[in-house]
Amino acid sequence: MNEDSGIPLKSLQVDGGMTVNKLLMQLQADLMGINVVRPSMTETTALGAAMAAGAAKGVDVWDLDPKNLATIATDTFVPSIPQKG
């Protein structure tokens, strides 16, 4: 992927329903040759939309301070197939 894009990627951040499939996540890491990082809560896109909508309406349910958002637990899938070249 790095070779094709010309951009050196160190990892791929993923979310959504398909990310619960551990085999798929490991295959992505193996085929791309980079770590695949999945949050413990896989539907982060929906959560982000809900947080933004709530904040826009003045609902103060979540702390949107970036330092507090960085503590989300993740699983990392590391490539297990040697890359050529």
* Per-residue pLDDT tens digits of the chain, which is 85 residues long: 667 788 888 999 999 899 999 999 999 999 999 999 998 888 888 888 888 888 888 887 777 677 776 667 789 999 999 877 6
- Residue 29's pLDDT is 96
Q: In this structure, is residue 39 part of a structural domain? A: yes
- Residue 70's pLDDT is 66
Number of domains composing the chain: 1
With a CB cutoff of 8 Å and minimum separation 6, the contacts of 13 are 37
Q: In this structure, is residue 80 part of a structural domain? A: no
- Residue 85's pLDDT is 64
**69 is written with which tokens?**
């958002």
Domain that holds residue 25: 2-75
Give the predicted TM-score (pTM) of the model: 0.72
For residue 59, the 8-state DSSP code is -
What burial class does residue 56 get, using C-beta atoms within 10 Å of its C-beta: 0-12 exposed, 13-18 middle, 19+ buried?
exposed
Closest-CA residue to 35 (of 9, 15, 59): 9
- Residue 77's pLDDT is 97
